[in-house]
């Protein structure tokens, strides 16, 4: 049995933070929220988070810098970027830096829950590397069928 997933919400807008908190509380997650990037990194030093919902435009440290720092220090954490200012350039940059998903505000509760659930599922599968599969040579670069 898995422990409840830990989710961190990082957004400078209190209404958005509270909305995400309400949406995910019913999804059986342990949730914490902070208002800026510096606080996010401070909290992550104390506790590991499975998923981070991250705003891009915040005072102080911007979301891309936070994403970069998270993926360098805690690569196993999945990050979902949620922004009110979506552009193709920031979407490509977020994915290049390792974001699991990129959502444009406004996002509804169902979108937040689905994206978070998808990120949690991806993390669980990434942690389920089965030695049996590696031993028999199934995977990229194997010569199956030869």
**pLDDT tens digits for range 17-74:** 999 999 898 767 899 999 999 999 999 999 999 999 999 999 999 999 999 999 999 9
Q: What is the 3-state secondary structure (H, E, C) of 80-110?
A: EEEECCCCHHHHHHHHHHCCCEEEECCCCHH
The pLDDT value recorded for residue 7 is 96
* Predicted TM-score of the model (pTM): 0.83
Cα separation, 18 vs 72, in Å, equals 28
Tokens for 140? 């990229």
The pLDDT value recorded for residue 142 is 39
Cβ-based neighbours of 92, under 8 Å, separated by 6 or more: none
């Amino acid at each position: 049995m898995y422990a409840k997933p830990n989710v961190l919400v990082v957004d400078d807008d209190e209404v958005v933070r509270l909305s995400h908190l309400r949406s995910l509380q019913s999804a059986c997650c342990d949730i914490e929220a902070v208002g800026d990037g510096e606080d996010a990194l401070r909290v992550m030093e104390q506790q590991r988070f499975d998923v981070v919902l991250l705003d891009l435009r915040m005072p102080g440290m911007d979301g891309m810098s936070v994403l970069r720092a998270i993926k360098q220090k805690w690569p196993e954490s999945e990050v979902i970027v949620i922004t009110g200012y979506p552009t193709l350039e920031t979407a490509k940059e977020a994915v290049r830096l390792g974001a699991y998903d990129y959502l444009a505000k406004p996002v509804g509760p169902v979108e937040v829950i689905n994206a978070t659930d998808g990120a949690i599922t991806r993390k669980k599968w990434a942690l389920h590397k089965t030695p049996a599969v590696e031993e028999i040579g199934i995977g990229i670069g194997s010569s199956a069928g030869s």
